[in-house]
Structure 1
Amino acid sequence: MPLIEDTARAFMPYPDAPLPHAAAGPLAGLSFAVKDLFDVAGYPTGCGQPLKLAQSGLRSSTAPTVQRLLDAGARFVGKTLTDELAFSMNGQNAHFGSPLNGAAPERIAGGSSSGSASAVSNRLCDFALGTDTGGSVRAPASHNGLIGLRPTHGRISLQGAMDLAPSLDTCGWFSRDGATYARVADVLLGDDPAPLPAAVRLLLPPDLWALLQPEVLAALAPARAAVEALLGAARPAPPVTDSLDAMYWHFRHLQGREAWQVHGAFIERHQPPLGPGVAQRFAWSRSVTAEQYAAALEFRQAFRAQLAQLLGSDGVLLLPTMPDIAPRTDADEASLEDYRNRAIRLLSTSGLSGFPQISLPLASRLGAPLGLSLLGPPGSDRSLVHLAGLLLPAAR
């Protein structure tokens, strides 16, 4: 029997193997779920792929990040569905189904941390671990009306978790409220190595805001005004890059080349059935050349330096998390892929730089949530969580 009644199709239906947790600690009284990319003792690690699940066996150890949460007193309630091999942003798994968006049931939950976002938005747990390579925490956070952080790259351990693109992979989490988010941040982040000062420079990147349609801009306007009222008037910033198209392609070449290096041998040897979109992305990834990858690495180095100079030690970008609210669940594959490609142009700012970005549920459109994000210098993750705690009550 599962540890919890799954009314949202958010959890993998694994047999109950309860994990011991500390009786007291900073997370005592909170329940949490874990994306099925992380090893948890007594459970398989299915990675959203049937053959991976069949080959997994029951794990004998627990990923260190999961263990930190248990040692802090949080109670584990199950492993959540992930998009197949984490290589999607839709929250629709051809083999295991589609978790329910708790804030807008007629719309996709978003992925690849779909089950984790669904579990939290449907109040099946207090918080849930996910991963973010190209947007897999930030996108579902925006779609489900949750808080979601992509941390500084390497800040939270991914030992004992499936790789997708190691130089881009990060570990994040979801919660519904700022107080819970801060408690988890204290455990997983600790103190910032480079905290933001009390007064920050709020910056508006014009090229990223120009990606939005007028109706989305209008929906975000009140939230943007609330952020400025608390943090100070936003200053126009230079574009984050000379070409968003170039940034998009360099990000995709990095992700694709590394994803094929990680999973290509498995796919070529076993030829597992891959779901729509995922199959095409891996086929495309196979074609990324060493020269394209090298060019992308060079671009990333220059991009990081440029963004670091723009932010300094006190700059925070205010940017939309996603180009719009979540697509409807009946959207066709071509529409979903178009939405994904538009989203990457926003999401790759944090992905390529490795700098932290937190998405906050500050807006809505057509009755569905719409996230607004803060992106800070490397090592300012806990400071961003602190700002989130100030902004959420001020904007409501």
Structure 2
Amino acid sequence: MHHETFKAFMPYPPVAVAHAPTGPLSGLSFAVKDVIDVAGYPTSCGTPLKLAASGIKPSTAPVVQQLLDAGARFAGKTHTDEFAFSILGRNCHFGTPINPAAPGRIPGGSSSGSAVAVAARLVDFALGTDTGGSLRAPASYCGIFGIRPTFGRVDNSLCEPLAGSFDTVGWFARDAKMLARVGAVLLGPDTTSLPGAARFLIARSCFAVAKPETAAELEGVLRRVELRLGMLDDTTDAAPNIDDLYWAFRHMQSREAWEAHHTFIEEVEPPLAPALAERFAFGKDVTDSLVAEARALRVRFRQHLTALLGEGTVLVLPTMPAPPPFLNEADAAIEDFRNRTVRLLCLASLAGFPQVTIPVIESDSGPLGLSLLGPAGSDRSLIQLASRVAEAARERIA
């Protein structure tokens, strides 16, 4: 199938990007979300007037350069939601990438093109960014692995900001081994190492946020994992105040997004999708006192999670609340879906801890991911653990 079939890539004229002839990623190809600079290409940030103002970038983002230096070949820049400020993957200006795992349903965003490029086997792995779930959502919806690393662990300079205290560069792969190979290049050694016999703590309040039928399907996966890897624990709830966390995240993210882009929006007046215009307007109205309250809650939540996970515990939660909605889903249904989604995705964003999503269910209504959230700095051992969970999830119970 021709790669344009999936509309994963931005249609830029190809420019040669040099890579090392040998290295740990030699022979592999990768794509880059179009919010990350690559020399010789513009950076559109998913919006035509940003593209017009971009010009050809003179420098390549350090995270991309690390991959090139490790021998990986750059294959192109991929579609993103407008300003990378959505989890749906729909773009009214440049079109919506087609979800290879569930055509007719949204691919998830905002790293939509990168997820689709990996799921469609157009590249071996791809870079995306994750502020409030922009990597984890499309990974779950396209039936692939994705990691949001520990905040600040991967260099995100020369990446277009959305909300600076949350923005994180991560990547997609079709299997855990590839996720780990890329991690070996980008992450350096873990500062916290998870034991092979880690304690799995089920985040019950998160399962309660998922649609009941989704929660039930994932419970079946948990039973298979338990048979292989031992007891899963649900004695403590990791996020008892999930609604408070949701609002804290929304207030900070929206305000930071407005601060990052308001000059451009006010001066250029770009045509924004209505839902996006609403989100920016919401951010503009968030008061200093709301931001201060939200920041204080984030500090308390991070301390709570640090104590809860210690050095040997990971949180198990649904990546998304339901399978991917249809492309033409009504706005009211999308709003409910978005609210549930942000409640699940905001935990790792607020804590700044690593989260890996594992493809565990393929059904007629599209794929579902199960997530592991680990302590800060445990990214590489979290990937190893995710690999074992993925194997256990695939085993059928006799």
Bucket of the pairwise TM-score, normalised by the shorter protein: over 0.9
Q: Which residue of 1 aligns with 2:223?
A: 225
| One-letter amino acid matched to 2:327 | T
Residues 307-355 of structure 1: CA deviation (Å, up to 9, x unaligned): 1111111011111001011001111233223211110111111111111
Summarize the Cα distance change of 1:142–1:333 in structure 2 as closer, same or farther, 3 Å threshold: same
Q: In the alignment, what sits opposite 1:148?
A: 146
Cα distance between partner residues in 1 of 2:235 and 2:263: 44
1:326 is matched with 324
Measured after TM superposition, the shift of residue 367 of structure 1 is 4.4
How far apart, in 2, do the equivalents of 1:388 and 1:338 lie?
A: 29
**What does residue 385 of structure 2 align with?**
387
TM-score scaled to structure 1, two decimals? 0.97
Q: Which runs of 4+ in 1 moved over 4 A?
A: none
Q: Can you list the C-alpha shifts for 1:76-107, whole angstroms capped at 9, x where unaligned?
A: 11000000001001100110010010100111
CA contact (8 A) 1:361 1:370 kept: yes
Kept in 1, the 8 Å contact 2:222–2:393? The answer is no
Deviation at 1:243, TM superposition (A): 2.1
Q: How does 1:178-327 map to 2 (within 5 A)?
A: 178-327=176-325
Whether the aligned pair in 2 keeps the contact of 1:6 and 1:124 (CA below 8 Å) is: no
Letter in 2 for 1:375: L
Q: Give the equivalent residue in structure 2 for 1:354.
A: 352
Tell me which residue corresponds to 2:68.
70
Separation in structure 1 between the aligned mates of residue 206 and residue 3 of structure 2, nearest angstrom: 41
Contact 1:111–1:139, Cα closer than 8 Å, also in 2? yes
Aligned length: 393
Indicate the RMSD between aligned Cα atoms, in angstroms.
Answer: 1.2
After superposition, give the CA deviation of every residue in 1:215-256 in whole Å (9 maximum; x if it has no partner): 112221232123223332111142223421111100000101
How far residue 365 of structure 1 moved from its aligned partner, in angstroms, is 3.7
CA distance in 2, matches of 1:271, 1:41: 27
1:371 deviates by 0.3
Q: Which runs of structure 2 are paired with 1:28-107 in the superposition (5 Å)?
A: 28-107=26-105
What amino acid is the match of 1:70?
L
* Preserved CA contact (<8 Å) 1:219 1:364: no
Q: Percent identity?
A: 55
Q: Secondary structure at the match of 1:157?
A: coil
* Structure 2 CA distance for aligned equivalents of residues 335 and 318 of structure 1: 26
CA contact (8 A) 2:140 2:367 kept: yes
Residue 352 of structure 2 aligns with an amino acid whose one-letter code is G
Letter in 1 for 2:19: H
Kept after mapping to 1: 8 A contact 2:301/2:351: yes
What is the identity, as a one-letter code, of the residue corresponding to 2:320? M
Q: Report the 3-state secondary structure (helix = DSSP H, G, I; strand = E; otherwise coil) of the residue aligned with 1:7.
A: helix
The separation in 1 between residues aligned to 2:105 and 2:232, in whole angstroms, is: 32
Question: What TM-score comes out, normalization by structure 2 length?
Answer: 0.96
Is there any run of 5+ residues in structure 1 with no aligned partner, and where? none
